[in-house]
Amino acid sequence: MWIPYAVCGVLGLVWGRFLNVCIARLPKRESIVVPRSHCPRCGHPIRWFDNVPVASYVVLAGRCRDCGARISPIYPAVELLTAGIWLAGFARYGLSPEFIKVTVFSMLALIIVFTDVLERTVPHAVTIFGMATGACFSLLVPMDSRPLGWILGRLGYFPGAIALSVFAGIVGALIGGGLFYVVGEVFYLASGRQKEYLGFGDVMLMLMVGFYLGPPLTLMTVLLGSLGGTLFALPLTIASSRFRNYQWPYATFLGIAAIYTSLWGAALLNAYLRWAGFA
């Protein structure tokens, strides 16, 4: 049936409109509730019929109705990406707690993807909220606890499914956040450069990822984010001198990897384990 997918797409577009508000205001520490949406140039409140996701941007030809200022194409892009996340999550999990979990997590990660690439910041309001909701979801949706269950079993501990899921979230957060904290400290001590070179926002992001995804998928996020960032940044750095000292938005690459991993990481991990002969 196409109707559930249509509903998911529409809801995704609507939520994408809200994510745009978060992306625009959270880095400035502004309220995401008041004032109502307005043009950043002329300050005129946006009329309700000019606030329809994607469609309004097309009708207005990407310009403010009142002052003619150009509207960033990032706005419809975020709305379409959010709709894509909803559709991908529904196609993967159906209407289930897993769908709700992956959708909430991916939308939080999408906010960070754009705040980092636009403002070079990872809002703590997003990551703290994400850690809290990730911990709650670990009570409702079983976490990928490999290989913790096996290790605990070898030590003679056999926790229940819920306890193991919560423990996996905590360990995932410690692995993700701890890894980035240690790397940042080592880099700072070894190079003498600013401590913010590997910002604490990256640590907070990986804490959130760990609480949502657990140990194996958190490590996969680090691997894919680092690989994707290297493949994207290295050619540009070599080809152009203007990128030699460019501060690449690492959290953006990690956020993209986290969204992919939340949707398809388990299938990728299982395929690798089968190929390697471990499953």
At 204-233, the pLDDT tens digits run: 999 999 999 999 999 999 999 999 999 998
* 46 or 240, higher pLDDT: 46
* Separation of CA 55 from chain center: 25
Residue 196 has pLDDT above 60, yes or no: no
Tokens of 243: 């990128």
Cα 233 from Cα 221, distance rounded (Å) = 18
- Beta bridge partners, 45, equal 38
CA distances from 194 to 29, 190, 246 (A): 24, 11, 14
The residue with tokens 């949502």 is: 212
Q: Which amino acid is at 262?
A: S
* 50 or 19, higher pLDDT: 19
Tell me the per-residue pLDDT of 16-47, one tens digit each, with 9 for 90 and over. Answer: 999 999 999 999 999 998 888 888 888 888 99
Residue 278 has pLDDT above 90, yes or no: no
pLDDT of residue 167: 93
Q: Which residue blocks in 141-260 are alpha helix, DSSP H?
A: 148-154, 161-191, 200-213, 215-239, 250-260
Please tell me whether the overall predicted TM-score, pTM, comes out greater than 0.95 for this model: no
Q: Above pLDDT 70, what percent of the chain?
A: 95
The residue with tokens 């760990």 is: 210
Calculate mean pLDDT across residues 120-140.
96
Collect all residues with Cβ–Cβ distance below 8 Å to 67 and sequence separation of at least 6. Answer: 39, 41, 42, 44
Cα 259 from Cα 277, distance rounded (Å) = 27
Closest by Cα among 6, 94, 2, 18 to 53: 18
Tell me the per-residue pLDDT of 67-110, one tens digit each, with 9 for 90 and over. Answer: 989 999 999 999 999 999 999 999 999 999 999 999 999 999 99
Tokens of 246: 């460019």
* 242 or 196, higher pLDDT: 242
The residue with tokens 């193991």 is: 164
Contact 211, 134 (CB under 8 A): yes
Q: What SS3 state is found at 258? A: helix
Q: Which amino acid is at 221?
A: T
- Beta bridge partners, 38, equal 45
Distance in angstroms between the alpha carbons of the first and the last residue of the chain: 35
pLDDT of residue 199: 60
pLDDT of residue 139: 95
Tokens of 36: 């109502």
Tell me the per-residue pLDDT of 138-168, one tens digit each, with 9 for 90 and over. Answer: 999 999 888 887 788 888 887 888 999 999 9
Collect all residues with Cβ–Cβ distance below 8 Å to 10 and sequence separation of at least 6. Answer: 83
* 38 or 128, higher pLDDT: 128
pLDDT of residue 200: 82
pLDDT of residue 192: 60
Mean pLDDT (the chain) is 90
Cα 184 from Cα 194, distance rounded (Å) = 10
